[in-house]
Amino acid sequence: MSSVPTDRVVNETTLRVRYAETDAMGIVYHTNYLIWFEVGRGELSRQMGVDYRTWEEMGLYLPVVEASCRYLAPARYGDLVIISTWVEEARSRTVIFAYEARLQETGQVLAMGRTVHVCVNRAGQTTQIPPAWREIMSGKTGEK
Amino acid sequence: MSSVPTDRVVNETTLRVRYAETDAMGIVYHTNYLIWFEVGRGELSRQMGVDYRTWEEMGLYLPVVEASCRYLAPARYGDLVIISTWVEEARSRTVIFAYEARLQETGQVLAMGRTVHVCVNRAGQTTQIPPAWREIMSGKTGEK
Amino acid sequence: MSSVPTDRVVNETTLRVRYAETDAMGIVYHTNYLIWFEVGRGELSRQMGVDYRTWEEMGLYLPVVEASCRYLAPARYGDLVIISTWVEEARSRTVIFAYEARLQETGQVLAMGRTVHVCVNRAGQTTQIPPAWREIMSGKTGEK
Amino acid sequence: MSSVPTDRVVNETTLRVRYAETDAMGIVYHTNYLIWFEVGRGELSRQMGVDYRTWEEMGLYLPVVEASCRYLAPARYGDLVIISTWVEEARSRTVIFAYEARLQETGQVLAMGRTVHVCVNRAGQTTQIPPAWREIMSGKTGEK
């Protein structure tokens, strides 16, 4: 069952599984889901109007400080996979993204994940997320 | 200057550079172009109607026996890159694919590559490409 | 502070950071720690005498069903990183591995992680871990 | 038959194949050899006393402008692979490295490759390799 929220801005990005992403078990190697989540995160940011490239141009970075993923079913070469991405929480110095990967053909949920990011400056020091961006990223749709 | 031929079936696939694909130089790590070429090869095969998954279902594989790439300009995170892929030559047991990667925004050529593949069976023995597929893959458009 | 237990069989493997593993932030891209944990897991298995290749030869697989990692400090190109790996729990159908990555030069802890694996057969069905292997993997040293 | 020269400084580095490096064919995905060559190149540089980190600290980079590889036999999960690396040619602005990968257990040659690098500064402009480093990298042993 899908965990995608209905009261949040959600980005949906479709990817096709690359041969490079499979392993000797014939399925997608587990860390690739976290890379796909990075793709979803980038697309959500663009969709919200705060392209991650703009962050870096301003000397701000959002490194991953925590990542987790649960794997429910395997994907295989050539499969189309939909990545749903949303912001679970946007605090003053921290953003939490959540993700769901499912098979386009059947809708089957493949994996669910979560990454925690902290805002740092060029010197690597924790710093505040610009309030305007935090507001945008809070990603509430206003719907109930 | 582009090297894409005009008398061949050419697949064009657009990819966005993933953060995972960049390196400490701030640019795309060189082996990722070869992975993008794999993506282009898969799309060309689907476009031609000989999905690589069908090959594997029939117990045939097309491992890479030679790969080369020339790098002309770097790509960076978030860039949209167009991969052009075509068959340079389809022989009885060998297929040669050629590729060009260019920046969508400017058309600048980033890289040009070539991979040679040999058809093998489940036992890993070199074997003939099914003639019908070879014919399709020869990829001649009939145009001059 | 290290989280490596003293009453468990712990494998220590040292890796040097590859340029391919860095990203545009100049540090190791986060998913590579999970790949390093896979390396540690393989080495621990070999050290315990149950090489993962033997599992696969017997038609048994241990896919990852859950993975998590906390990132405390970055690693950079050329750094030597020590991966400590141990079995946190070995149940009848599930094994939990835990990991710590630290910088060889300073001992600084870079990341801590955990992966949950379930034993499946060739058909992809959950199955029992052979009791002898489960016993070995429980990894108790008998020390207090 | 091995192509490793006898009149050059040759670095030998042994790697164990990671599961992450395999693909659905059950063998190592082809681009990983080029990553292993990067590992060999780094080790050779360290062995010669010109650690690539020192280059970057001085604002010099050696991006790959050409890469090629021939694949002769597959490697599989857990295999130990020896990477031999040497400098084929060191010119004023260009260095060419050559590589051979072979299976430790049998000595079988798996792949042979070559990468061409050009020296650039922080602005991305082609620049001269410091003559002292070029001399070191020429890698002649003086033996016949």
- Dump the DSSP string for A65-115: EEEEEEE-S---TT-EEEEEEEEEEE-SSEEEEEEEEEETTT--EEEEEEE
Q: What is the pLDDT of residues C9-35, one digit of tens each?
A: 999 999 999 999 999 999 999 999 999
Angstrom distance (rounded) from CA A111 to CA D92: 51
State the pLDDT at residue B2.
Answer: 81
For residue A22, the domain's CATH number is 3.10.129.10
Q: Which of A39, A57, A76, A81 would best serve as a mutation to test chain B binding (most B beta carbons within 10 A)?
A: A39
Alpha helix stretches (DSSP H) within B1-144: 31-48, 52-57, 131-137
Instruction: Say if B40 falls within a structural domain.
Output: yes
Compute the average pLDDT of residues A104-109. Answer: 98
B23 an active-site residue?
Answer: yes
Q: Are D22 and A20 inside 8 Å of each other by CB?
A: no
Residue in chain A nearest C73 by alpha carbon: A65
Q: Active-site positions of C?
A: 23
Domain that holds residue D19: 11-138
Compute the average pLDDT of residues C68-83. Answer: 98
If phi > 0 it is left, if psi is from -120 to 50 it is alpha, else beta; for residue B99 that is beta
Classify the C-alpha dihedral A46-A48-A52-A53 as positive or negative. Answer: positive
Compute the average pLDDT of residues C53-60. Answer: 93
Residues of B in contact with A38 (CB under 8 A): 18-20
Angstrom distance (rounded) from CA C28 to CA C41: 20
Residues of B in contact with C76 (CB under 8 A): 24
Angstrom distance (rounded) from CA B50 to CA B44: 9
Alpha helix stretches (DSSP H) within B58-96: none
Instruction: Say if C84 falls within a structural domain.
Output: yes
Instruction: Say if B15 falls within a structural domain.
Output: yes
For chain C, say whether A23 makes contact (Cβ under 8 Å). Answer: no
* pLDDT tier at D144, thresholds 50, 70, 90: very low
Altogether, the residues listed in chain C come to a count of 144
Task: Name which of B23, B31, B76 is nearest C22 (Cβ-Cβ).
Answer: B23
Q: CA dist A138 to A67, A96, C124, D15, Å?
A: 19, 10, 40, 45
C91 pLDDT above the threshold of 80: yes
Alpha helix stretches (DSSP H) within chain D: 31-48, 52-57, 131-138
The CA-CA-CA angle for residues A27, C60, A106, to 5°, reads 35
C143 pLDDT above the threshold of 90: no
* pLDDT tier at C2, thresholds 50, 70, 90: confident
Q: Report yes or no on whether pTM surpasses 0.90.
A: yes
For chain A, say whether B35 makes contact (Cβ under 8 Å). Answer: yes
Helix (H) or strand (E) holding C137: helix C131-138
Distant-in-sequence, close-in-space partners of B135: CB < 8 Å, separation ≥ 6: none
Residues of A in contact with B78 (CB under 8 A): 42, 51-53
Instruction: Say if A89 falls within a structural domain.
Output: yes
Angstrom distance (rounded) from CA C31 to CA C28: 8
Compute the average pLDDT of residues D35-41. Answer: 98
Q: What was the ipTM of the complex prediction? A: 0.95
Instruction: Say if B144 falls within a structural domain.
Output: no
Q: Are C31 and B20 inside 8 Å of each other by CB?
A: yes
Angstrom distance (rounded) from CA D74 to CA C23: 29
Residue in chain A nearest B40 by alpha carbon: A18
B144 pLDDT above the threshold of 50: no
Compute the average pLDDT of residues D19-35. Answer: 97
Q: CA dist C120 to C96, C117, D89, Å?
A: 15, 9, 51
Q: Which of B40, B17, B21 is nearest to B31 (CA)?
A: B21
Q: What is the pLDDT of residues A55-75, one digit of tens each?
A: 999 999 999 999 999 999 999
Q: Are C77 and D53 inside 8 Å of each other by CB?
A: yes
Q: Are A76 and D26 inside 8 Å of each other by CB?
A: no
Residues of B in contact with A53 (CB under 8 A): 77-78
For chain C, say whether A64 makes contact (Cβ under 8 Å). Answer: yes
For chain C, say whether D55 makes contact (Cβ under 8 Å). Answer: no
For chain A, say whether B100 makes contact (Cβ under 8 Å). Answer: no
Angstrom distance (rounded) from CA D109 to CA B43: 32
D141 pLDDT above the threshold of 90: no
Compute the average pLDDT of residues C57-77. Answer: 97
Instruction: Say if D98 falls within a structural domain.
Output: yes
* pLDDT tier at C141, thresholds 50, 70, 90: low
Q: What is the pLDDT of residues C41-56, one digit of tens each?
A: 999 999 999 999 999 9
For chain D, say whether B74 makes contact (Cβ under 8 Å). Answer: yes
Q: What is the pLDDT of residues A72-86, one digit of tens each?
A: 999 999 999 999 999
pLDDT > 70 in chain D, percent:
97
- What's chain D's average pLDDT? 94
A98 pLDDT above the threshold of 50: yes
Instruction: Say if C76 falls within a structural domain.
Output: yes
Task: Name which of A34, A35, A63 is nearest C25 (Cβ-Cβ).
Answer: A63
Residue A40: helix, strand or coil by DSSP? helix
Number of domains making up chain C? 1
Q: Which of C3, C14, C5 is nearest to C103 (CA)?
A: C14
pLDDT > 70 in chain C, percent:
97
Distant-in-sequence, close-in-space partners of D45: CB < 8 Å, separation ≥ 6: D51, D52, D137
Instruction: Say if D83 falls within a structural domain.
Output: yes
Query: Which chains border D (3 or more CB–CB pairs < 8 Å)?
Result: A, B, C
Angstrom distance (rounded) from CA A27 to CA A111: 13
Residues of D in contact with A22 (CB under 8 A): 23-24
Compute the average pLDDT of residues A26-34. Answer: 98
